[in-house]
């Protein structure tokens, strides 16, 4: 980077909680100038999921986009922005790329409600979502919304997926294709099908037979309970099956930062020495978290701010 900055403040999933975002920025030394939050020697990086759930989605998007437009921040796409694009895209047969079922409507409810009288503004933000990169790699760090998989990232680089065209959006929703798998896992994480007869009920009261995995872990010797999020107690002692074995995220490579997983630790901490999840459920009973990354300096648990 040519600019003389000391580092980046990487901020987890916001989900329309603008007040908490402004409090966090202020705590980290940012101040508002001409309606834009700035820092004299640092920039923010937002890991995606700016919309849905929270009470101030319009305000959140205004803060983030204004910072990006002014060169004070970077923002990547989250699965909620990706889903919003698909929810809005109508196919020639009249159906939508993301179905308007009761479950999907519920997921987008707050965004739909808060933008119902601001349709052009929402259209402008949807156009902006298409321009958001799906990952970042710079100054010794990596940022992605849900999962960094080297092969998937190389595929996206070859696909020239930025900005996201409507043609690519449609192609990426063709289930069980390579492109579908890459977009699903990078933006929504890797999932594993539970053994037959096992399931859990998610936060939306939906029965699930697939669980998100802690993809950064080496699976050798792990049980499903250790490797999966929300795994039911019935699989506590079951080993990760041979077809799902993985070496995880290389401990020797550069650090990766992401959101997505609604961690509920009382104190933010790394998931591995070079793996940092920054989603601590501000849209639930948690809090908004940032990691203060200093270029060229060692990492520290003291760099978490919330």
pLDDT in tens, 144-189: 999 999 999 999 999 976 789 999 999 999 999 999 999 999 999 9
Preceding peptide of 115 cis, ω within 30°: no
Contact 143, 135 (CB under 8 A): yes
| Confidence label for 4 from pLDDT (cuts 50, 70 and 90) | confident
Residues 294, 229 share a domain: no
Q: Report if residue 162 sits inside a domain.
A: no
pLDDT in tens, 131-141: 999 999 999 99
Contact 231, 200 (CB under 8 A): yes
- Residue numbers of the domain that contains 95: 7-148+253-305
pLDDT over 60 at 190, yes or no:
yes
pLDDT over 80 at 1, yes or no:
no
Distance from the Cα of residue 252 to its chain's centroid = 23
Residues 222, 80 share a domain: no
Which residue matches tokens 């043609």? 167
pLDDT in tens, 237-267: 899 988 899 999 999 999 999 999 999 877 8
Q: What is the pTM of this model?
A: 0.95
Residues 16, 126 share a domain: yes
Residues 236, 105 share a domain: no
Residues 214, 114 share a domain: no
Q: Report if residue 183 sits inside a domain.
A: no
Contact 46, 260 (CB under 8 A): no
Q: What percent of the chain stands above pLDDT 70? A: 98
Q: Report if residue 233 sits inside a domain.
A: yes
Residues 129, 51 share a domain: yes
When divided into structural domains, the chain yields a total of 2
Q: Report if residue 153 sits inside a domain.
A: no
Q: Tell me the torsion sign for CA atoms 163, 59, 306, 25.
A: positive
Residues 140, 265 share a domain: yes
pLDDT in tens, 40-58: 999 999 999 999 999 999 9
The whole-number pLDDT of residue 91 equals: 95
Residues 206, 112 share a domain: no
Residues 198, 76 share a domain: no
């Amino acid at each position: 980077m040519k600019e003389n900055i000391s580092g980046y403040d990487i901020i987890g999933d916001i989900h329309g909680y603008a007040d908490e975002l402004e409090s966090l920025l202020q705590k980290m030394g940012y101040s508002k100038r001409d309606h834009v939050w700035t820092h004299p020697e640092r920039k923010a990086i937002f890991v995606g999921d700016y919309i849905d759930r929270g009470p101030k989605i319009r305000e959140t998007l205004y803060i983030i986009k204004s910072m990006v437009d002014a060169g004070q921040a970077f923002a990547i796409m989250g699965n909620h922005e990706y889903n919003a694009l698909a929810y809005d895209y109508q196919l020639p047969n009249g159906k939508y790329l993301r179905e308007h079922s009761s479950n999907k409507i519920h997921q987008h409810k707050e965004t739909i409600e808060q933008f119902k009288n601001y349709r052009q503004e929402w259209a402008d933000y949807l156009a902006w979502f298409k321009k958001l990169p799906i990952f970042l790699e710079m100054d010794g760090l990596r940022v992605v919304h849900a999962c960094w998989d080297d092969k998937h990232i190389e595929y996206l680089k070859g696909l020239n997926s930025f900005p996201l065209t409507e043609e690519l959006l449609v192609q990426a929703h063709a289930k069980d294709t390579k492109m579908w798998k890459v977009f699903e896992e990078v933006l929504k994480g890797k999932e594993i099908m539970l053994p037959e007869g096992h399931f859990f009920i998610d936060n939306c009261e939906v029965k699930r037979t697939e669980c998100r995995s802690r993809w950064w872990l080496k699976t050798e010797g792990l049980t499903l309970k250790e490797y999966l999020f929300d795994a039911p107690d019935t699989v506590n002692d079951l080993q990760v099956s041979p077809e799902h074995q993985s070496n995880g995220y290389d401990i020797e490579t550069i650090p990766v930062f992401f959101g997505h997983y609604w961690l509920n630790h009382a104190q933010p901490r790394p998931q591995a020495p070079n793996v940092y999840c920054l989603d601590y459920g501000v849209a639930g009973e948690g809090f908004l978290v940032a990691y203060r990354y200093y270029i060229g300096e060692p990492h520290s648990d003291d760099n978490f701010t919330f």
